Structure 1
Amino acid sequence: MSNLTKQLEEQHYLGKAIQSLRAENKMSIHELANQTGISVSYLAHLESGVRKNPSYTVLQLLAVGLGVSLSQLINVLSEQNQE
């Protein structure tokens, strides 16, 4: 696997984790935006991998909005990374 391919895959781990947790909670991206105060466009960019490396505060807001602890969110990221 080339470095570019690996880098592109890594950008999508957070997005896949957010989408997976939203699906488990039967939550739309708009509902998550309303619960967290994070804009729909920013969430969409995170999910698509356009945006990466969100701040600690954003990760905390996502965890609360998705009904998981920050450590659970990180565990989901780790699981996505291993697939």
Structure 2
Amino acid sequence: MSDLKKYITERKMRDKDFANGYDEGYEQLKVGMILRQAREDAGITQEELALRLHTKKTAISRIENHAEDIKLSTLERVASALGKKLEIVIV
């Protein structure tokens, strides 16, 4: 286990606020990463996706890097623009 992973594990065990914030932040990061990967898999650039969504490249970058407050309707539009279907699973 790396020093960073060890630190995170130990800190999460002793600080519940840190644990909750860390886990929430990680989930938000994953959403952006999934969207970026889907865009790259589709073989299009941020600029091309922005054109499809009638927005700016900076908006696409913000979604991919800071997806913490993204609306479901926005996720659906992005998925559609990528030729994908949005599926939500609650576990």
Fold conserved (TM > 0.5)? yes
Unaligned segments of structure 1, at least 5 residues: 79-83
Give the number of equivalent residue pairs: 73
CA offsets 1:7-65 (integer angstroms, 9 cap, x no match): 2211112111111111111111001100112332222111112x423223212210111
Q: 1:4 to 1:55 in 2, by over 3 A?
A: closer
| Higher mean displacement: 54-63 or 23-32 | 54-63
Unaligned segments of structure 2, at least 5 residues: 1-11, 13-18
Q: TM-score, normalised by structure 1?
A: 0.72
Picking from 62, 74, 77, the partner of 1:61 is: 77
Q: TM-score, normalised by structure 2?
A: 0.67
Q: Percent identity?
A: 21
State the one-letter code of the partner of 2:53.
T
> Which ranges of 4 or more aligned residues in structure 1 deviate by more than 6 Å?
none
Q: Please, what is the CA RMSD of the aligned residues? A: 2.0
State the one-letter code of the partner of 2:71.
S
Structure index of larger Rg: 2
